[in-house]
Amino acid sequence: MKSIYYLKELTKFGHRGSATKNEKQAADYILNELKKMGYKVEIQTFKTTRDNLYMLPLQVGVLLFICGLFSLMYGRPLEIAAFLLSLFAISLLLLEVSGKPIETSIMPRHLSQNVFTTFDESRSKRIIVSAHYDTQRGSLMYHPKIVDKLSIIYNICYVGFGLVPIGILLKALKLNVIAYISLYLGLFIVFVTVIFMAICEVTGRYTQGANDNGTGTALTLALANCYINNKDKFPDNVDVIFLFTGSEEAGERGMKNFIKKYGKKLPKDTQFIILDNLGSGKITYLEGEGIVFYKRASELLFDVAEDMAKGHADKVQKMKNLLLPTDALPAMAAGFDAIAFLAKDEKGRLGNYHWYTDTIENVDTELLDYEEEFFKEYLLKVAQRLN
């Protein structure tokens, strides 16, 4: 199978950290492979921060902590300014998880790139099969003994962040008892979060990223190879694009920049199929994306997945959404149809997620073979349904 070969080549880079030299080398490899297949290929470069997973909550937390302290120490008139500034800090987090292509970080920017096959303007329908090829840094946050509790940790952090502006507002309204309870509890949670994120930022090291997302990238390359050699099986008016995004781990920056530049050139019924973390467990398709701003998966793409699941009952499952979004969210936020596929166990866990055991030795190669055939069939059925 082609996907295993591609995965072996991708993992030779050690890591493919967002907006790093290694990521650029991986992009060049993908570009050359697509050209060898016979595709015309484009590169879209853009500037992005290398990390928003740790640094953005850290920045927002510091800002909220300062606002809370100013409210406690000085009161009016700084209290109103502190409240407005705390709302601005919260809005940065909300914008980040909305999928909108708006920069939220003040950190330095570096070059990253998307690689994709060119559009066939003669065809009226379009399917975009996409995978991000960059890798994340593992840290204490994703330690195997902690990762299953991430949902609880995130929710506590969100509550703590929200308590700070609420406490400032209540204090301004002279509701002092409940205001001080909200502020002190919020500041404590924010302080702990800032320290924790700072530790993760300083100690974090890049993973090999065999599963996340070497598997999705390898499968997308295998699908590209299959498609160009079997175009006669696809409807004449359906164009299939293969998109490899950089800096997804920095907050879907690759997909956001792709949508920002090329979104207006795409038909509104363009279908985005996102492949991510497919190295262990069962093929899992998501009903939607987003924790705060929930977007449902494409009806067409979801229905085809439902139909195929009936014939692969022991290998395929569905789940509502993820704690963190995939590249499907920016496409959905822009009004396009999208669906994300991952491989998860029955409890919803991703294999070796953002941890140093995310190596090629821990990828289920039999599953990868199975997925390659599954997605070939899925892509053809989507094209036929779209037509």
H or E, element range at 317: strand 316-319
Do 78 and 216 belong to one domain? Answer: no
Do 182 and 331 belong to one domain? Answer: no
Do 268 and 279 belong to one domain? Answer: yes
Separation of alpha carbons 383 and 179, rounded Å: 57
The CATH number given to whatever domain includes residue 32 is 3.40.630.10
Which letter, b or e, does each residue of 58-76 get, where b requires 16 or more Cβ atoms within 10 Å of its Cβ? bbbbbbbbebbebbbeeee
Of 203, 220, 245, the residue at which a domain comes to its end is 203
Do 195 and 298 belong to one domain? Answer: no
DSSP state of 250: G
pLDDT, residue 311, reads 87
Task: Give me the average pLDDT of each 10-residue run along the chain (387 residues).
Answer: 94 96 98 98 97 94 96 84 95 92 90 97 95 97 93 94 96 93 97 97 97 98 97 95 97 97 94 98 95 91 96 89 93 97 90 96 96 97 95
Do 312 and 259 belong to one domain? Answer: yes
Separation of alpha carbons 161 and 187, rounded Å: 8
Give me the number of domains the chain comprises. Answer: 2
Do 248 and 334 belong to one domain? Answer: yes
Closest CA to 51 of 123, 104, 7: 104
Torsion of CA 336, 326, 148, 371, to 10 degrees: 100
Identify the domain containing residue 159 by its residue range: 55-105+142-203
DSSP state of 19: T
Do 124 and 196 belong to one domain? Answer: no
Q: What is the CA radius of gyration of the chain?
A: 22
Residues 6+ apart with CB under 8 A from 30: 115, 133, 217, 221, 244
pTM of the model: 0.95
Runs of H (alpha helix) within the chain: 2-10, 21-37, 55-74, 78-96, 150-172, 176-203, 216-229, 253-262, 299-311, 328-333, 365-386
Of 186, 203, 220, the residue at which a domain comes to its end is 203
pLDDT, residue 93, reads 92
pLDDT, residue 163, reads 97
Distance (Å) of CA 51 to CA 7, 211, 222: 24, 19, 29
